[in-house]
Structure 1
Amino acid sequence: MLGALVVAVLVGVSVGVGVWFLIRDTSLGSGLGSGAGPTPSVTAASSPSPSPSSSSTASSSSTATGYRRAQDPVGYTIDVPKGWTRTEKQGQLAPVVVYDAPADGRRLQIFRLAEDTPARSLDLAENDPGYGFSRQPGYQVLDRASGTTWAELAYRYDDSDLGARQVVDHRFEAADGTLYAIRATGPASLTPALVREPLTRALGSFCPAETECD
């Protein structure tokens, strides 16, 4: 496994970057945008498009006003806005869970990381010469911050299908020591606070299965 990861880095297609390519806004729902390039093999999916989860695979309970607590079948608890639709797409190493707003184009994306630190993962996803999202048209960093166990990048870019988008990409160490990313995206026309709000709720409630969280 270690040898495979080394080879992947040498050819400029890291696992983390592959996951980024899989979860580009245009890769879910409307298909890949023009000029996206070939899909890295590390992001091979089990089906061409995700399918909405049924109530039998994602139970939930009430929580704060406007949100519900979802016991996600992937293996964690998370608060998500009521009425948002869950989809899941299987990457080579881990599933990518997506919650979509039906009305305003906002989205949450949650996935497990393969790199050894959140900062390393975010740096690879941003700067890989083949698939880093800094290569997207109109890319502009809005904010950047990090701590001992987390790293975050806020940016905007021009999506070929969805238009101008803003993103808050937060990568962190969960209570069980596993590394995850939660990305909030939305139209650039929305206020940054509105796009960030579901991410803040998700981070504050995120708890891996069979783990005691504060």
Structure 2
Amino acid sequence: MPVGPASAPAPHRVRRVFAALVVAVLVGVAVGAGVWFLLRDTSLGSRSGAGPAPKVTASSSARPSSTSPSSAATPTPVSSAAAGYRRTEDPVGYSIDVPRGWTRTEKQGQAAPVVVYDAPADGRRLQIFRIAEDTPAQSLDLAENDPGYGFARQPGYQVLDRASGTTWAELAYRYDDTDLGARQVVDHRFQAADGTLYAIRATGPATLAPALVRDPLTRALTSFCPTGAECD
């Protein structure tokens, strides 16, 4: 039977299909980029906030010693933590120890929520978020070296230390933030007990002793446990 002009797709339907394809491509690019663009370590409310073997525990991933704000979810205190810390069951889906008195905020990244804990007095910060790359090392390399947004492009960037293991990768560096001044960062990406990949970033003023910036990260890593997972 001949097909008449009425069978041709309506122009507005073609436009809707094309728009959907464009959105899908943009989302795929953002996830593959590790959602780094939203993780600039600037003052909260500007560019801060943000972009996952055998089974391992959260403690095994820790290194040996050497957008728009969402609703204000409140983490639930659970069992006791070390002195100076509190253990919480975070609404995002994991338990973690954080310093007492630090304030929690949450932002929605391109692929997952970004939870931020800020010290009220000295400018230290923890950022916790899920990553989308295949391995922690791949995710950290992309975040550091991407030619468009990698943090190696930041003013004053200087690598302080670099290390990795089977299920984790870590980079310590400093840079000059246009709002906060010289900053030091420890970026640790790891496989959690349920196999999901996460990043925890500890930041603080470059004038602080490095241990003051690293200690909250170490405690967060050794206590991190996804909801429903078995962790040491």
Regarding TM over 0.5, the answer is yes
Given the alignment, which residue of 16, 24, 28 partners 2:44? 28
Taking a change above 3 Å as real, the CA distance of residues 156 and 83 of structure 1, as seen in their structure-2 partners, is: same
Q: Which amino acid aligns with 1:117?
A: T
Q: Displacement, 1:8?
A: 2.1
Given the alignment, which residue of 106, 119, 128 partners 1:101? 119
Contact 1:173–1:180 (Cα < 8 Å) also in 2: yes
Q: Percent identity?
A: 79
Q: Structure 1: which 5+ runs fail to align?
A: 34-41
Give the whole-Å Cα distance in 2 for the aligned partners of 1:27 and 1:152.
23
Contact 1:5–1:15 (Cα < 8 Å) also in 2: no
Which secondary structure state, in structure 2, belongs to the residue aligned with residue 99 of structure 1?
Answer: strand
Q: Deviations over 1:165-214 (max 9, x none)?
A: 00000000000000000000000000111100000000000000000101
Give the whole-Å Cα distance in 1 for the aligned partners of 2:40 and 2:71.
17
Q: Please name the residue that 1:39 is paired with.
A: none
Q: Please name the residue that 1:210 is paired with.
A: 228
Q: Structure 2: which 5+ runs fail to align?
A: 1-23, 52-66
Taking a change above 3 Å as real, the CA distance of residues 174 and 21 of structure 1, as seen in their structure-2 partners, is: same
Q: Please name the residue that 1:58 is paired with.
A: 75
Give the whole-Å Cα distance in 2 for the aligned partners of 1:145 and 1:110.
19
Give the whole-Å Cα distance in 2 for the aligned partners of 1:133 and 1:160.
13
For this pair of structures, how many residues does the alignment match? Answer: 193
Q: Displacement, 1:58?
A: 1.2
Which secondary structure state, in structure 2, belongs to the residue aligned with residue 123 of structure 1?
Answer: helix
Q: Which has the higher contact order (CA 8 A, sep 6+)?
A: 2
Given the alignment, which residue of 59, 68, 74 partners 2:92? 74
1:8 paired to 2:8: no
Q: Please name the residue that 2:190 is paired with.
A: 172
Between Structure 1 and Structure 2, whose CA radius of gyration is higher?
2
Contact 2:27–2:110 (Cα < 8 Å) also in 1: no
Cα root mean square deviation, aligned: 2.3
1:186 paired to 2:213: no
Runs of 4+ displaced beyond 3 Å: 3-7, 49-53
Q: Displacement, 1:103?
A: 0.4
Taking a change above 3 Å as real, the CA distance of residues 102 and 123 of structure 1, as seen in their structure-2 partners, is: same
Q: Which amino acid aligns with 2:76?
A: S
Q: Deviations over 1:26-68 (max 9, x none)?
A: 1623x139xxxxxxxx96x3x3x45644xxx311133111000
Q: Displacement, 1:77?
A: 0.4
**TM-score under structure 2 normalisation?**
0.77
